Amino acid sequence: MTLYAHIVGWGKFAPAKVLTNDDLSQMVDTSDEWIQARTGIRERRIASEQETTASMSIAAAREALRVADADPAKVDLIIVGTVTPEHLFPSTACLVQDALGARQAAAFDLSAGCSGFVYALGIASHAIEAGAYEMALVIGAETLSRIVDWTDRRTCVLFGDGAGAVVLRASKHPGGVLSSILGADGSGGELLMLPGGGSRFPSTPESVLNGMHHLHMDGRRVYRFATKIMVRATRQALEQANLSLQDLSLLIPHQANQRIIESAARGLKLEDGKVFINLDRYGNTSSASIPMALCEAVESGHVKRDDTLVLVGFGAGLTWAAATVRWSVPLPVATPPRWRVAVRWARYRWAAIRRRALSALWWLIERLFPPKPDRKG
Ligand code: UT7
């Protein structure tokens, strides 16, 4: 039996704190005029001290599960696309898995720069089509404000924080993720990177002083790469799905720069209204940008049942990814029965209680049965 991976739930989280271009012009030598003209960005969201990649992922995932009316205990796979994980390890996906009470889910992070979400969507949909999993949660989440150099005007004006998530479910009805193109060219790795904190340049006082824990980018070269690859990947994704540009209802591109998006739209000869843009309010949120844009496109009525969407991104690696999606959920979605909302809430509460109880138990065991000192000689 042929299986298809359908998007059945979606959710996003954006921190409440807004940082405008005028705010930035108080911090570095820039202006609202320059930022809007060169990027299209007007403002971006910045995570509070309490908000992290995991907390935003969890919020977006809960919303996606609510829309899908899905039981978190039945999720089989969780992938978080991110370049700003909660820690180097454990993965952010494992923290999400624990917080959701998704006890039977495999969980891992995926690092593919701003293409991370579409990469994860491609991998998860292949796993579902192969019959390995029934339900997957695919998340893109970033706290870029923590790695941006707030004294570097070339980069700090571009980025923002946020998270987006979708629930994918197996179905025998044709539709869902129809194709995915995943690509990489590691020769461009130096164009966009976080040099420090890994095995090449471990964290030292010098690495901190030398700014190696900040994002570094050659904006012009990334720009050139982006304008070409967005067009090529979109065409390839449609071709792989046996569709043409005439079949495309809406392009949801990575929200890096309005000029890049407009150049791609020109290259694809797309009519006005066929490209979704929300970067004016969020800036570039890397892996989170496409799922956040998808959520807003759905919520604002830009997506209808049976529409053909292409999600396309590019980013650090260098990487690129595009997926063709046939939208199969009738909109607006029905309100789930109250008892199922209550069951989900109980799962989240129980997951939190379990986590606290387990750590208290370990604390007690260590005090009751302290490890015996090593006997030498
Ligand atoms: O998610 C993937 C990650 N990255 C991207 O997608 C980024 C792709 N690149 C870009 O979006 C654009 O290259 C930027 C927005 C980063 C820069 O735009 P640009 O039109 O390529 O500007 P530029 O780098 O060529 O800089 C032009 C001038 C320079 O001054 P000089 O050397 O001509 O005197 C910069 O120093 O603009 C200056 N500049 C600024 N001026 C005011 C650079 N940043 C700023 C700024 N405010 N924030």
Residue 1's pLDDT band (cuts 50, 70, 90): confident
The pLDDT value recorded for residue 336 is 87
Rg of the chain over Cα atoms, rounded to whole angstroms, equals 21
Q: Which atom of ligand 1 is nearest to the CA of 256?
A: 6
Q: Measured from the CB, is residue 256 less than 6 Å from ligand 1?
A: yes
For ligand 1, atom 12, which residue shows the shortest CA distance? 219
Asked, for residue 49, whether it belongs to a domain, the answer is yes
Can you tell me the distance from the alpha carbon of 83 to that of 142, in angstroms, rounded to the nearest whole number? 7
Among 101, 102, 118, CA closest to 110? 118
pLDDT mean over 135-161:
97
Alpha-carbon distance of 72 to 347, in angstroms, equals: 8
For the Cβ of 355 lying below 6 angstroms from any atom of ligand 1, the answer is no
Residue 282 inside a domain? The answer is yes
Alpha carbons 83 and 108: distance in angstroms, whole number: 13
The verdict on the CB of residue 57 being under 6 Å from ligand 1 is no
Tell how far the Cα of 38 is from the centroid of ligand 1, in angstroms. Answer: 7
Band of residue 232 on the pLDDT scale cut at 50, 70, 90 = very high
214, 216, 284, 295: the active-site residue: 284
Mutate to test the pocket of ligand 1, among 26, 35, 38, 156 (most ligand atoms within 8 A of CB): 38
The CATH number of the domain holding residue 275 is 3.40.47.10
Q: What is the pLDDT of residue 375?
A: 66
In the predicted structure, residue 109 carries a pLDDT above the cut 90: yes
Residue 284 DSSP one-character state: B
Is the CB of residue 215 below 6 angstroms from any atom belonging to ligand 1?
no
- Cα separation of 152 and 216, whole Å? 10
Give whole-number Cα distances, 213 to 75, 190, 210, 240, in Å: 35, 14, 8, 39
Q: Is 21 in the pocket of ligand 1 (CB under 6 A)?
A: no
Determine the distance separating the centroid of ligand 1 and the alpha carbon of 301, expressed in angstroms.
33
* Ligand 1 close to Cβ of residue 226 (< 6 A): yes
What's the one-letter identity of residue 164? G
CA angle 328, 332, 334 (to 5 degrees): 95
CA of 219 to the centre of ligand 1 (A): 6
Q: Which residues pair with 5 in a beta bridge?
A: 170
What is the average per-residue pLDDT within 282-304? 97
Name which of 311, 314, 280, 82 is nearest 192 in CA terms.
314
pLDDT at 50: 97
The answer to whether residue 253 is domain-embedded is: yes
pLDDT in tens, 155-212: 999 999 999 999 999 999 999 999 999 999 999 999 999 999 999 999 999 999 999 9
Tell me what percent of the residues of the chain surpass a pLDDT of 70. 99
| Alpha carbon nearest to ligand 1 atom 11, residue | 257
Interstrand relation of 176-184 and 135-143 (parallel, antiparallel or unpaired): unpaired
Catalytic status, residue 173: no
Contacts of 82 (CB under 8 A, 6+ apart): 53, 57, 92, 109, 110, 111, 116, 139, 140, 141, 142, 286, 287
Marked catalytic residue, from 254, 257, 295, 302:
254
DSSP string, 327-368: --S-SSPPPPPHHHHHHHHHHHHHHHHHHHHHHHHHHHHHHH
Other CB atoms closer than 10 Å to residue 144's CB: what's the count? Answer: 27
Q: Do 176 and 125 form a contact (C-beta atoms < 8 A)?
A: yes
CA of residue 376 to ligand 1 center, whole Å: 63
The Cα-based distances of 195 to 217, 239, 241, 297, 317 in angstroms read: 11, 37, 38, 35, 13
Quote the pLDDT of residue 371: 81
Ligand 1 centre distance from Cα of residue 290 (Å) = 22
Confidence (pLDDT) at 342: 93
Is 335 within a domain? no
Q: Establish whether residue 285 lines the binding site of ligand 1, counting it when its CB lies within 6 angstroms of any ligand atom.
A: no
Give the CA distances from residue 353 to residues 23, 341, 350, in Å, rounded to whole numbers and listed in that order.
41, 19, 5
Strand partners, 137: 78, 167
Q: Is 287 in the pocket of ligand 1 (CB under 6 A)?
A: no
Question: Is residue 290 in contact with ligand 1, taking CB distance under 6 Å?
Answer: no
Mean pLDDT of 331-360: 92
Q: Is the dihedral of CA 34, 37, 39, 40 positive or negative?
A: positive
Active site residue 213: no
Q: Is 210 a catalytic residue?
A: no
Rounded Cα–Cα distance for residues 240 and 180 (Å): 8
pLDDT of residue 376 exceeding 80: no
The active-site residue out of 114, 156, 216, 302 is 114
Residue that wins the pLDDT comparison between 372 and 238: 238
In a domain, 201, yes or no: no
The answer as to whether 162 is a domain residue is yes
pTM: 0.95
Full 3-state SS string of 202-221: CCCHHHHHCCCCCCEECHHH
Q: Which amino acid is at 246?
A: Q
| DSSP strand pairing (135-143 vs 77-81) | parallel
Evaluate whether residue 362 is within a structural domain.
Answer: no
What does the pLDDT read at residue 51? 98
What is the number of domains present in the chain?
A: 1
Q: Is the pLDDT of residue 374 over 80?
A: no
Ligand 1 mutation target, pool 221, 223, 280, most atoms within 8 A of CB: 223
Q: What is the pLDDT of residue 177?
A: 98
Read off the pLDDT of each residue in 28-49 and give the average, rounded to a whole number. 98
151 lies in some domain: yes
**Please, which pLDDT band fits residue 377 given cuts at 50, 70 and 90?**
low
Give the structural domain span for 101.
4-195+211-326
Q: Tokens for 127, please give them.
A: 């796993």
CA of 154 to the centre of ligand 1 (A): 6
